[in-house]
């Protein structure tokens, strides 16, 4: 493949404003079995499979992409972009099916990229993006997109977590937002005494146990990997102590719910908070809208730690990637530069209550009144740590965490044994790379 000149700085699209007003929205349907094609007319068709961030049909991501594509095609005759959106429950599997069948899309916006990069299936970011676009990415996200020091994963959207608490329940119990684990446990006991159904929701179920786990590990001074060596460190003394504390001070005292942590999924925990039944839980920005719609008054603070607010928060990034199979590197690069235009990043972030992955959009949102609700999350973003997504082993490790981590906090649970099993899994998967 001919490498694109990195000195070639193209004039990017101007976002959706103005163009959309002049163009009607297109309903685009992708032919999943197809590839990027060049027809007799010389027209190139790019195919993108993307995840759905909407919580209803009215704000599904398909509508966002249709508008963006309409604007792009109006400025780029000869290029068509077909976008198919799937739910997060299905999108990763759909892309895998297409790749395994030899029918990879030109682009995929999904949850992980490392497996495809390790197999040599993806373009490097340098082969696609202009220098200004690459330079605009928030540093930790760009770094997290690297496999063996080469960036393949292009960050698309991000989020971090804060501790949400129900202000009404807290006022009734005469307590204030916690800053330490000890205060969190004391608050939970006070909430229980007032009859609160779930003082603290601890979702360690199959949906997203790896997220709740990481937030607690970071607040306890640990994490999934050693910050200096970069190797897995799941069974560290700090991590074991964290789950010992959760078992003995929250779960064992009946301060969690509405079901056992290992059976509680994040979506159900969020719904229970929005229903006014939960005193505290870790949440990302979308929980704000859920709670507001239900009339729940809430506050948000950094996750408590051992001796004060946690220094680090868990960060999550979703990824854009481009497959080499169909070619069209130049056309894909032109389109992705348009996708990451500042206004387009702002439009997407604001529509779905997500944090932008570019510095330019982050600067705007930090200062804008309309984004004031997101400011606490934006302030924590530079202090966030991401999953070790650059490791092909992470997919297997994450699955095992979802299966096993709930056992650490059951009655008689043995955190040391469970975390040691997970460490063995991680080491084995790492050695298999």
Mean pLDDT per 10-residue interval, the chain, length 433 residues: 36 37 32 42 87 83 95 95 91 93 96 91 96 94 91 94 97 98 98 97 93 96 85 96 98 96 94 97 92 96 95 91 95 97 95 93 94 91 87 89 95 95 94 75
User: 318-356 b/e with 16+ CB inside 10 Å = b?
Assistant: bbbbbbbbbbbbbbbbbbbbbbbbbebbbbbbbebbbbb
pLDDT of amino acid 433 = 63
Give the angle subtended at the CA of 244 by the CAs of 238 and 245, to the nearest 5°: 90
Q: What is the pLDDT of residue 323?
A: 97
Cα distance between residue 75 and residue 167, in whole Å: 49
What pTM did the predictor assign? 0.80
Mode of pairing for the β-strands spanning 37-38 and 44-51 = antiparallel
Q: Can you tell me whether residue 11 is helix, strand or coil?
A: coil
Q: Are strands 278-283 and 198-201 parallel, antiparallel or unpaired?
A: parallel
Distance CA 180, CA 98 (A): 47
Site of tokens 């039944």: 277
The CA distances from residue 233 to 58, 218, 224, 225, 227, in Å, are: 43, 12, 6, 5, 9
pLDDT at position 3 is 36
């Amino acid at each position: 493949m001919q490498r694109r000149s990195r000195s070639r700085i193209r004039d990017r699209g101007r976002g959706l404003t103005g163009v959309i007003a002049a163009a009607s929205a297109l309903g685009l349907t992708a032919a999943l079995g197809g590839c990027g094609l060049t027809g007799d007319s010389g027209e190139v068709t790019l195919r993108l499979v993307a995840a759905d961030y909407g919580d209803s049909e009215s704000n599904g991501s398909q509508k966002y992409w249709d508008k963006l594509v309409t604007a792009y095609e109006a400025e780029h005759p000869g290029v068509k972009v077909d976008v198919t959106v799937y739910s997060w429950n299905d999108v990763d599997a759909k892309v895998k099916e297409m790749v395994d069948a030899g029918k990879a899309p030109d682009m995929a916006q999904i949850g992980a990229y490392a497996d495809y990069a390790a197999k040599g299936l993806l373009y490097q970011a340098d082969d696609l993006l202009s220098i200004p676009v690459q330079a605009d990415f928030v540093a930790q996200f760009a770094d997290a997109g690297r496999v063996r020091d080469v960036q393949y994963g292009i960050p698309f959207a991000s989020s971090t977590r804060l501790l949400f608490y129900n202000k009404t329940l807290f006022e009734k119990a005469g307590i204030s937002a916690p800053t330490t684990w000890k205060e969190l446990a004391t608050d939970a006991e006070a909430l229980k005494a007032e009859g609160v159904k779930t003082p603290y929701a601890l979702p360690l179920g199959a949906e997203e146990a790896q997220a709740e786990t990481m937030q607690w590990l970071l607040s306890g001074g640990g994490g999934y990997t050693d910050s200096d060596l970069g190797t897995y460190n799941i069974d560290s003394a700090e991590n074991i102590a964290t789950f010992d504390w959760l078992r003995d001070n929250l779960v064992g005292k009946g301060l969690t719910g509405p079901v056992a942590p290992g059976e509680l999924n994040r979506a159900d925990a969020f719904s229970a908070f929005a229903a006014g039944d939960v005193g505290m839980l870790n949440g990302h920005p979308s929980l704000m809208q859920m709670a507001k719609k239900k009339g729940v008054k809430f506050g948000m603070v950094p996750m408590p730690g051992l001796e004060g607010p946690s220094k680090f928060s868990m960060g999550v990034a979703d990824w854009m990637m481009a497959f080499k199979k169909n070619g069209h590197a130049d056309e894909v690069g032109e389109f992705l530069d348009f996708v990451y235009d500042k206004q387009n990043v702002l439009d997407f972030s604001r529509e779905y209550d997500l944090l932008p992955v570019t510095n330019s959009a982050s600067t705007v949102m930090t200062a804008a009144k309309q984004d004031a609700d997101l400011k606490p999350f934006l302030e924590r973003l530079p202090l966030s740590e991401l999953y070790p997504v650059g490791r092909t082993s992470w997919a297997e490790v994450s699955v095992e965490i979802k299966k096993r981590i709930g056992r650490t906090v059951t009655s008689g649970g043995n955190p040391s044994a469970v975390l040691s099993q997970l460490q063995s899994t991680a080491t084995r998967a790492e050695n298999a790379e």
